[in-house]
Structure 1
Amino acid sequence: MTNKNDQLYITKIIKGDVNAFAHLVDNYKNMVFSLAFKMTKSREEAEEISQDTFIKAFKNLKNFKGDSKFSTWLYRIAYHTSLDAIKKNRNNNATFEINEVTFNQIQAVETILQGIERNERSKVMDICLQKLPDEQRAIIWMFYYDELSLKEIMEVTSLSEANLKVKLHRARKKLLTIVKENVEPEMIENYGRK
């Protein structure tokens, strides 16, 4: 399942060519950093997590079976390394109650957001995403931005399919609540009429 280039480098590394690991780092450093940064909201923390992720990957490369893509395996290491760092540094992660949201309300907000210009929508969504709890933000990020399949996210997070679907649904509902609270009512009204 791993692409041929990755497998070629993995084989070289396992046979003792440690310099071949630099190619894997170059190929995946942005993916790992991006995930760590989205989860921790700290550039320094994300850099440290990225280093830890690649060290763990290097040390455990002999255990990589190739059943999944190398990128999924590495993503899983980065995800769990980020969670460990968050747990270690957790200071106050207040959560708030989710209001019941109907499908029609979700559709209405999606329609409104479609009317907001792409750049403005991107800024609004980034602000709103940062307000989600770490795990929910990571799941939303993997599904919508990294476009991982549910199966790949299950591999990364070690969640069952049912549990992942529930968490994804709750993350969407919470994100919707945050969007509604952060997009000015006049803007919603204005775009709602168009």
Structure 2
Amino acid sequence: MTINKDQILINQIVKGDTSAFTVLVDNYKDLVFTLALRMLKNREEAEEVAQDTFIKAYKSLANFKGDSKFSTWIYRVAYNTCLDRIKKNKKHLNDVPIDEFTEHELKTIDNALQQLMTAEKNETIKKCIAQLPSDDAFLLTLYYFDDLSLEEISKVVDLTPNNIKVKLFRFRKKLASILKVQLEPEIIATYERERR
């Protein structure tokens, strides 16, 4: 959706056109659900949070000024709704223990990832991201899968772009420790096939 098309829909909704809201929900429901699922790690709760997100968005749509893209605004609503749900459920997610990684080790893991087929790689990364705490998974999803810029992410989570950059680096190290465990069997199998 372009910003203009979103704004046209928003104007129609504010004037009372509920069918325009259905179109807006259809355009963003998959993104909102995916982000909720990454944070909550529970399908039913993610579905409920996605619904709550769109209810909140509908009620406060008149306040959307268009200072940022609508997608950024709806991400922020979804993010805050997920945080509320986590606090409500008092979920305590375990941190992934990490060893110190050097830049060389991170690059080695990146190179190993490039050897996997793209679809296989994405599936492996998604499974590994699911093992991270909610905030880590959320930010990595926004940056690597939804291709949001640091500035766009900073508007969603209300942190500076530089702070996001530092967090992404730390989360990438955590992800690397998980990927290393996942990839080592794959690398060994590839090596053995090549030696035959």
Is TM more than 0.5 here? yes
Match of 1:177 in 2: 177
Match of 1:142 in 2: 142
CA contact (8 A) 1:33 1:46 kept: yes
Q: Give the unaligned 5+ runs of structure 2.
A: none
Divergent runs of 4+, >6 A: none
> SS at the partner of 2:60?
helix
1:51 Cα deviation (Å)?
0.8
The number of residue pairs the alignment matches comes to 192
Match of 2:168 in 1: 168
Match of 1:22 in 2: 22
What is the rounded CA distance, in whole Å, between the counterparts of 2:13 and 2:120 in structure 1?
45
CA contact (8 A) 1:112 1:192 kept: no
CA contact (8 A) 1:76 1:155 kept: yes
> SS at the partner of 2:143?
helix
TM-score using structure 1 length: 0.90
Match of 1:94 in 2: 94
CA RMSD between the two structures? 1.9
Instruction: Indicate the percent of aligned positions where both proteins have the same amino acid.
Output: 47
Q: Give the unaligned 5+ runs of structure 1.
A: none
What is the rounded CA distance, in whole Å, between the counterparts of 2:56 and 2:146 in structure 1?
22
More off after superposition, 55-64 vs 5-14: 5-14
Amino acid at match of 2:37: F
What is the rounded CA distance, in whole Å, between the counterparts of 1:37 and 1:96 in structure 2?
18
Equivalent residues in 2 for 1:28-107 (5 A)? 28-107=28-107
Q: Deviations over 1:46-80 (max 9, x none)?
A: 11111111111111111111111111111110111
CA contact (8 A) 2:14 2:61 kept: yes
> SS at the partner of 1:16?
coil
